[in-house]
Amino acid sequence: MKLKRLSSFLLVVCMCCLAACDGGSASTKQPTDTYSEIITSSVIEGTSDNNDSKPQNSQGTQSGNSSSLTTSTITSTITETISPQRRPDKPVADGKDIENNKKVDIPVTEIKKTIKGETGITYNLVWNDEFTGKNINKNKWCYPNAFTDSKYTQMLLLTEDQDSDVIGVSDGFLKMNAKRYYSSGNSQIQYATAKAFGTQDTMNLRYGYVEMRAKVPYKKGAFGAFWAIGKPSLTPARTRNYYVEIDFFECFGSQNEIWPNVHKWYDKANPVSHSHIYPTWNTVVGNTKYGKYTFDNYQNLSDEYHLYAFEWTPKFIKMYVDGKSYATFDIEKSFDAHLTNGTDETYKNVLLPAEKNNMDGFHDYIYLLWQNLIYTPDLNDASVAVNKNTEFPFEYWIDYVRVYQDPNNANNGLLFKDNNGKTVDYYNK
């Protein structure tokens, strides 16, 4: 199983620390069809799949269900305003390709102030970034230190936005690009990508509906992810003996699949232990309905923009693609209460008995994370690693990130940095 084969590597990726952030700015976004090629003196080889027009979006299924998704099922669709600059090659009306009657990539020119998930709850917009400026807004984003394992980083340079070819804001997008790289000072380094990018020191939340519009690299050797960690910096964590990891999706070098999961890291145990859900545990953990998401038509998937979201209430966490949920995790019933030891090979140690029935960590503040990693050859897994024929860069581009919360949920939480770098408590201003 793919999850089992990659478990040792993924455990390294999930151990995160703190990092510092500073100030930024924003401006007005204009629709654009400009996709500058990423060609620098540091690139040994590779190509950039830049197109003057974006392809039709693939449709997908949940865990092998072959029923197709249409725009009528997307309850979170943003107001659709067609831009001829962004989509000049096909006539478009009502979000469909007239010729083929398929959903197409529609640019977003209006910010939707409310949104609904499948539960029917109406959520209000409380925090967002449309990436309309020329630089990353450091009052909204930071780089939590991660991936310090020497075996993994031996061939990979992890950088911040001092290298705009690797990560930066332009054309209304946050652009993360993993690429080949030549280092004159370290001959072992052959690739470069951005450090984990997120909101640890800039925005922490509890409950809500979070949506991004993005294109994700679905290629062999690409490890893109959207996830969260329950170690907030803007408020003390209430859960002391473990912290949570929530994987809204991870793409393990697949051409058309993403996987979700939830984890408990017992970092106060000696030795450290860890547990997470396995796909076969649906009958063990209450109302959990585990499911990967599979795109049925994926020839152009790495060039397509899709909506990726999660809905988080006191009862559950749901993962969405294009407005359709594909996995639900029950967070009222502990998923590791029946275990004595952890669930993986690296941290398969004794779990803390007093915490196994405790799910408080899934009701605490979290921060969001994105990553655009490369499976390098030194991982010794040729089935997923890049090689000399791999086409680069791996483009993980985000159009927007929007956080919505239920105005009727008295247990909501939202702390963020304002434009002056001051921490604001949204519900106690």
Look at residue 359 in the predicted model and tell me its pLDDT. Answer: 92
Given the structure tokens 């989509």, which residue do they identify? Answer: 87
Tokens of 303: 């060039």
Rounded CA separation 204/343 (Å): 28
Look at residue 197 in the predicted model and tell me its pLDDT. Answer: 93
Query: Residue ranges of the chain with pLDDT lower than 50?
Result: 1-56, 64-104, 106, 147-151
Look at residue 53 in the predicted model and tell me its pLDDT. Answer: 35
pTM above 0.95, yes or no: no
Pair type for strands 293-295 and 273-276: unpaired
Task: Check if the beta carbon of residue 155 is closer than 8 Å to that of residue 191.
Answer: yes
Rounded CA separation 232/244 (Å): 11
Look at residue 163 in the predicted model and tell me its pLDDT. Answer: 87
What is the three-state SS of the chain? CHHHHCHHHHHHHHCECCCCCCCCCCCCCCCCCCCCCCCCCCCCCCCCCCCCCCCCCCCEEECCCCCCCCHHHCCCCCCCCCCCCCCCCCCEECCEECCCCCECCCCCCCCCCEEECCCCCEEEEEEEECCCCCCCCCCCCECCCECCCHHHHCCEEEECCCCCCCEEEECCEEEEEEEECCCCCCCCCCEEEECCEECCCCEEEECEEEEEEEECCCCCCEEEEEEEECCCCCCCCCCCCCEEEEEEEEEECCCCEEEEEEEEEECCCCCCEEEECCHHHCCCCCCCECCCEEECCCCCHHHCCEEEEEEECCCEEEEEECCEEEEEEECCCCCCCCCCECCCCCCCCECCHHHCCCCHHHHCCEEEEEEEEECCHHHCCCCCCCCCCCCCCEEEEEEEEEEEECCCCCCCEEEEECCCCCEEECCCC
Look at residue 342 in the predicted model and tell me its pLDDT. Answer: 81
Look at residue 234 in the predicted model and tell me its pLDDT. Answer: 95
Task: Check if the beta carbon of residue 214 is closer than 8 Å to that of residue 308.
Answer: yes
Q: Is 2-425 a CATH 2.60.120.200 domain?
A: yes
